[in-house]
């Protein structure tokens, strides 16, 4: 499956090789993880209502020193899978300008409005949650969108604009959502 990255979650961490005799154990065989979390001041809160994470291995083409360079890039990924109560998504390697099957999008309450996660119909059937963190009224949600998929907030419906590689609020006319 080909996934284009539009946004990451707030929480980053790494795991290194256990072979500490290797002088490059922190870089050569390291794995980098990302998940949704909510910042409160300088504290990071892991209030997962849908626990999950994405993973980049050292051979994936991800540079941990410049994670934002990955935005807009397409990766070959294994399908998301449930393991040990969490959703896992492995980014295997970077590809050229392939047409993506899905988009990794991160929504935040301050930018995208309130989402009622407990309410049925907050997302289209094709949207797959990877990681959702909720603290009081604030949230961060990492989701996989397919073409034509949407998420509804109190501002309206959000969809991916494929040509611009970003998420956009749909225009609402006369109180009817498209």
**DSSP label at residue 146:** P
Section 7-32 average pLDDT: 77
For residue 26, pLDDT over 70 is answered with no
User: In angstroms, what is the C-alpha Rg of the chain?
Assistant: 17
Q: Are 114 and 17 in contact (CB under 8 A)?
A: no
For residue 174, pLDDT over 50 is answered with no
Helix (H, G, I), strand (E, B), or coil: what is residue 161?
strand
pLDDT band at 173 (very low <50, low <70, confident <90, very high): very low
The torsion of the CA quartet 156, 100, 68, 18, rounded to 10 degrees, works out to 120
First to last CA, the chain: 28
Name the more confident of 52 and 173: 52
């Amino acid at each position: 499956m080909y996934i284009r990255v539009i946004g990451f979650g707030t929480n980053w961490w790494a795991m290194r090789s256990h072979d500490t005799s290797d002088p490059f154990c922190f870089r050569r065989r390291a794995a980098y993880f990302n998940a949704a979390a909510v910042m409160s001041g300088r504290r990071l809160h892991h209030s997962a209502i849908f626990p999950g994470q994405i993973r980049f291995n050292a051979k994936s083409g991800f540079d941990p020193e410049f994670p934002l360079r990955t935005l807009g890039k397409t990766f070959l990924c294994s399908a998301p899978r449930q393991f040990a109560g969490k959703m896992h998504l492995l980014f295997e390697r970077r590809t050229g300008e392939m047409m993506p099957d899905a988009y990794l999008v991160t929504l935040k309450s301050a930018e995208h409005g309130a989402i009622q996660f407990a309410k049925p119909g907050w997302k289209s059937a094709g949207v797959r949650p990877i990681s959702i963190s909720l603290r009081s009224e604030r949230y961060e949600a990492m989701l996989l969108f397919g073409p034509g998929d949407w998420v509804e907030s109190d501002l309206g419906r959000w969809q991916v604009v494929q040509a611009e590689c970003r998420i956009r609020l749909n225009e609402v006319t006369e109180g009817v959502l498209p």
